[in-house]
Amino acid sequence: MLRGIDPVLNAELMHALMLMGHGDQLVLCDINHPAQTIARHTTYSRLIDVSGCGLERLAEAVLKLFPLDTFADAPVKRMQVVGDVAGQAPIFATIQKVIDQAEGRSVQMEALERFTFYEEAKKSFAIVRTSDPGPYGCFIFSKGVI
């Protein structure tokens, strides 16, 4: 163990975070996301699993080390509820609260249609799958600078 680093952040995830640069994207997703399939298309090219951890807990841990991109209008993207563009899942408000607290400001989150989200996720640096049961627990975070 290292002091000051949340134990939720395993060695592989820490390695991926260290490799990322400004503008690179990180996907945090629930257990239902086709993460293994999409991960093959990412820069990191393999799935990072954080078993036994939910999205809220992982987002809190990641965002202690990971600044969001201040040059992007919406540095966080999420998946839309299928068939309901204005639909809200409870996880949306939960993650919004986490990102706003981590950044100390209101952060815009953009909703993407399901298949558009999958295509955007393929362009990401890495995919991190949690044990969160979902639904709609799929988020893309754009990395900023310190």
Given the residues 22, 73, 84, 136, the one annotated as active site: 22
Catalytic status, residue 118 = yes
Marked catalytic residue, from 24, 49, 69, 132: 69
Query: What value, to the nearest 5°, has the Cα angle with vertex 121 and ends 25 and 144?
Result: 10
Query: Helix, strand, coil proportions of the chain in percent (round to 5)?
Result: 30, 20, 50
Q: Which residue has the tokens 């400004």?
A: 22
Active site residue 49: no
Strands 48-49 vs 126-129: parallel, antiparallel or unpaired? parallel
Pick from 78, 77, 75: nearest CA to 103:
75
Active site residue 22: yes
Q: Which residues are catalytic?
A: 22, 69, 118
